[in-house]
Amino acid sequence: MSLDSSDYEPLIVEVMRYQTTDGESHSTKSSAAYHQKEIALTDHANARLEAGDTIADILRAVGKTVPDPILEKVTKDSKLAIPHWQCRDEAGYTPRRFEHGAWTVYVYGHAGSWSGGYGNTMSVLELARYAADRKSILSPNAIVQTPPDSGTKNL
């Protein structure tokens, strides 16, 4: 049997798609608009994270719920202890960026393991759980300084 174009061309259908800036294709304009808004919100959140805002402030700024008050203390400079990563319980992992879509946070660092650095995504609720660990350092830049000429000696 021989096929000519009249046998299969009627089966071809023109399809319109909508593409967002991340290259994803969407079947409806509203789906693409929603996805593009999520990209814009994530970009805004990442700019604020880089500027040093707390995770809680960032979540509120993009209209998300803050699941735990401990996130008021978590910034890009916080060092988290995540014991099951690299079998180490030292604080060494920092929030690096928000991922769009599920609003997860990419956390990366090096807690002293022989294998080097490691990172992965986690929910903001998981981030709060690790921030609450007593070994986590939430304000690494908050150094208590003695005022000059205070009349006391540091021993």
Which pTM was predicted?
0.78
pLDDT tens string 40-91: 999 999 999 999 999 999 999 999 999 999 999 999 999 999 988 877 778 8
Query: 93 has which bridge partners?
Result: 80, 109
Domain ranges of the chain: 25-131
Distance CA 38, CA 65 (A): 15
Distance CA 138, CA 95 (A): 11
